[in-house]
Amino acid sequence: MNNIEEQVALRHWDRIAKVYTMLRFNPISYVILRKEQRSLLNLLGRRTEIPDSGSALDLGMGSGLSLDLIPADISRIHALDQSAEMVARTRIKYKHVETITGSALNTPYESGCMDLILCIGVSEYIADIDVLISEIFRVLDDKGSAIITSSSPNILNHIRKISGHKLYLRSDIEMSERLSAGDFNIVRISRTLIQDQFLIQKLKDGITGSA
């Protein structure tokens, strides 16, 4: 994504920040959202290594809807979004979360500092998905887990393009290949109407997932 595309994207998200939650809770979107959240909670329940406490990062948290999914065993929660408007609004509701404005492709967090990373509804806005995957790998603890979603090229996701924002649609096969190339083990995949959801962990010799 070049500088012009980045500025267009920022203006887009800052512009809709005031109404984003309302848009997600219209009757049709709400049904889709609830199915996505139930599926994500099921994936979170399949984490194989769960720390007694730890740190979680919601990467590209938007209005904060994914923050409600973070398990109670996580004691420190961080969230990052490129939109200052989104961050400001999320900070009001989620006062216990350490929120910052920044790029998901180049975060300020130390390597290996997060036990759980959520990257929900972000990858379809990223042209170079390998950079995003690499950053998640860097920040995630060696024993940690992450969930990343992608949008497949189906009719519903093509309809989403009407909003005017550029989408990078990827099949679950393509996304699986990129995650594997990024040294991630895919533990499980769930699919909803507009999302493919991947529970991933750093690759360990001889261990493969049950996707």
Q: State both tokens at 202.
A: 């750093």
**Residue 69: DSSP 8-state:** G
Phi, psi of 55 (to 5 degrees): -120, 140
20 or 90, greater pLDDT:
90
pLDDT tens-digit series, residues 167-199: 999 999 999 999 999 999 999 999 999 999 999
pTM of the model: 0.85
Whether the pLDDT of residue 127 is over 80: the answer is: yes
Residue among 105, 98, 148 nearest 126 (CA): 105
Residues 6+ apart with CB under 8 A from 96: 77
